[in-house]
C-alpha cells in the first residue's frame, strides 16, 4: 500500500473516534493586591474571576449533580486560617434544545474568602496562601476538559 493510501486509511479511522475538546485558557483568577489583616481579626478577601467571552463555568453549588461546579480550595498557612469560600449568586441559562436550566457564572465575578489571623501573629509578616481553582468551562455547544489552576494570595499581618 502506498504512503498516501496508508495516510488516508489512518485519517478515515480517526473520523470514527470520539472528539476530545482540548482545555484552553478560559478563566483567569486575579487575587487582590495589598491584602492586610490584623492579628486576632477576620477579614473577607475577594478573588476576581474572569471568564473569557462566549464561555461560562458551572456555579457552586450546581443543581445537576452530574456537572462540575467551580471550586476554590485554599490551604491555611502559618498564622492565617482560611474559611469556606463564599460563591456569588448564579445566573440561570438554558441551552437550545435542553429542558433544564443551568446555573452558571460568566464575565467577571468574585469569590469571597474568609481569613482569620492568629492573635499572636507577627505584625509586618507576609504569608502566602496557596490553593487551586477547579472548573469546567463550556460554550453553548461544547464543554472543555476540567481545569485546575494554581492560586496564590499574599496576606500581610497588620499592626495590632
The pLDDT tens digits of the residues spanning 69-92 come to 999 999 989 899 999 999 999 999
- Read off the pLDDT of residues 112-137 as tens digits, 9 standing for 90 and up: 999 999 999 998 999 999 999 999 99
Does the pLDDT value for residue 47 go beyond 90? yes
Question: How far apart (Å, rounded) are the C-alpha atoms in residues 76 and 82?
Answer: 5
Determine contact, residues 130/94, Cβ cutoff 8 Å: no
N- to C-terminal Cα separation, the chain? 80
What is the edge-to-edge ordering of all strands in the sheet holding 42-51?
27-30, 42-51, 108-117, 80-82
What integer is the mean pLDDT of 19-45?
A: 82
Greater confidence (124 vs 24) lies with: 124
Residue 13 has pLDDT above 50, yes or no: no
Residue 23's pLDDT band (boundaries 50, 70, 90)? very low
pLDDT of residue 7: 38
User: Which grid coordinates belong to 98?
Assistant: 435542553
Share of the chain above pLDDT 70, in %: 85
pLDDT for residue 101:
87
Please tell me the distance from the alpha carbon of residue 62 to that of residue 144, in angstroms, as a whole number.
Answer: 17
Say what the pLDDT of residue 78 is. Answer: 84
Region 52-66: mean pLDDT is 94
* Domains (range + CATH), the chain: 18-149 (2.60.40)
Distance CA(136)–CA(145), nearest Å, equals 6
Residue 10 confidence class, pLDDT cut points 50, 70, 90: very low
Smallest Cα–Cα separation from 124: which of 153, 154, 158, 160?
Answer: 158
Mean confidence (pLDDT) of the chain: 85
Amino acid at each position: 500500500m502506498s504512503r498516501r493510501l496508508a495516510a488516508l486509511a489512518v485519517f478515515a479511522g480517526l473520523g470514527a473516534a470520539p472528539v476530545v475538546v482540548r482545555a484552553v485558557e478560559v478563566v483567569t483568577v486575579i487575587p487582590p493586591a495589598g491584602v492586610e489583616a490584623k492579628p486576632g481579626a477576620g477579614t473577607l478577601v475577594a478573588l476576581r474571576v474572569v471568564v473569557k467571552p462566549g464561555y461560562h463555568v458551572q456555579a457552586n453549588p450546581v443543581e445537576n449533580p452530574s456537572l462540575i461546579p467551580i471550586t476554590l480550595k485554599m490551604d491555611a498557612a502559618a498564622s492565617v486560617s482560611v474559611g469556606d469560600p463564599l460563591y456569588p449568586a448564579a445566573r440561570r441559562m438554558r441551552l437550545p434544545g435542553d429542558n433544564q436550566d443551568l446555573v452558571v457564572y460568566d464575565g467577571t465575578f468574585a469569590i469571597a474568602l474568609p481569613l482569620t489571623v492568629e492573635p499572636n501573629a507577627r505584625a509586618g509578616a507576609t504569608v502566602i496562601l496557596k490553593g487551586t481553582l477547579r472548573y469546567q468551562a463550556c460554550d453553548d455547544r461544547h464543554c472543555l476538559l476540567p481545569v485546575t489552576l494554581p492560586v496564590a494570595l499574599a496576606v500581610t499581618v497588620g499592626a495590632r
